[in-house]
Amino acid sequence: MSEKALKPMYLGESLLYFAIPSVILYFNIYYGVPYLDSIGVPLIISFPLALYGLLGLLFFASLIAYKVEGNPLTLKDLVKRFRLQALNRKMWLISIGTFILITVFEEVLKSNGKTLASIPLFAPPEILPEFIDPNKALVLPFTEFMGTPLEGNWWILLLWLVCLSCNIFGEEFWWRGLILPRQELAFGKWAWVIHGALWLLFFHAFLKWNYIVLIPTCFLIPFMAQRYKSTWMAAVIHGIGNGLLFAFIIPGIF
């Protein structure tokens, strides 16, 4: 099925597609994780289940939506619909450059996260792990991860690999692969702006103290995905940052 055969996704439908997973995620983090903690479930189980479990479901939801659209069940058509064409050297370099640019911007804006977190409306739940909570200092090198000692626990490496895969494939297939092409038919060259605003304000509400810090991420990733018609570019930019935690986890395991 060609992109022209897709139905435009206007604002009302866009709100629905963003709001449903966003509300579930917010509930998971602010109510589900504290509840599981209260009954003795360790954070290294409850937090990945609440966050990355949902993101994994988004991946499967995107494939179901692909089928509901009436697309053929062939790899060629899936690659075309989700914009999964291979990256060339130029696109790889642009992706890496964009990640560096986002990192610089976020470093400049980082202090805003701690400021917003001090306001009750934007304050994070106390149960959150230190790599997300701005009120908790990261102690390097890592000796524990989400409350569990790292030394010798190789299964934590596998756990984070699964979490990262759910994160990148779930989000990028759902947001940039499934939704953005349809939004482009509705909003034209400004689709990335609508997309970025909804991704920031809705889906990242569970990180609401980072609303300002996440502006570069939430707008540059959809901009690049739309500019180059490539979901893989978004996945590379998105994945490098989240994958950097491996650099802190692996030494702790050794």
Q: Give tens-digit pLDDT for 118-140.
A: 999 999 988 888 888 888 877 77
DSSP 178: I
pTM, two decimals, is 0.93
Q: Residues, the chain, total?
A: 254
**Does 221 have pLDDT greater than 50?**
yes
- For 136-154, give one letter per residue: b (16+ CB within 10 A) or e: eeeeeebebbbeeebeebe
| Beta partners for residue 145, in sequence order | 148
CA distance 98 to 22: 26
Q: Can you tell me which residue has the tokens 């610089």?
A: 104
- Residue 248: band (very low, low, confident or very high) from pLDDT cuts 50, 70, 90: confident
CB 39 within 8 A of CB 145: no
Structure confidence at residue 118 (pLDDT): 92
Residue 51 phi/psi, 5-degree rounding, is: -95, -60
CA distance 24 to 71: 28
Q: Can you tell me which residue has the tokens 């977190």?
A: 117
Structure confidence at residue 132 (pLDDT): 87
CA distance 140 to 103: 19
Structure confidence at residue 1 (pLDDT): 40
| Beta partners for residue 148, in sequence order | 145
Cβ-based burial of 13 (10 A; exposed 0-12, middle 13-18, buried ≥19): middle
The fraction of the chain above a pLDDT of 90, given in percent, is: 81
- Residue 229's contacts (CB-CB under 8 Å, 6 or more residues apart) are 83
Q: Which of 237, 246, 243 is nearest to 102 (CA)?
A: 237
Structure confidence at residue 86 (pLDDT): 96
More confident residue, 90 or 252: 90
Structure confidence at residue 238 (pLDDT): 93
CB 238 within 8 A of CB 171: yes
- Residue 120's contacts (CB-CB under 8 Å, 6 or more residues apart) are none
Structure confidence at residue 143 (pLDDT): 86
Q: Which of 247, 248, 203, 246 is nearest to 221 (CA)?
A: 203
Structure confidence at residue 243 (pLDDT): 85
**Does 2 have pLDDT greater than 60?**
no
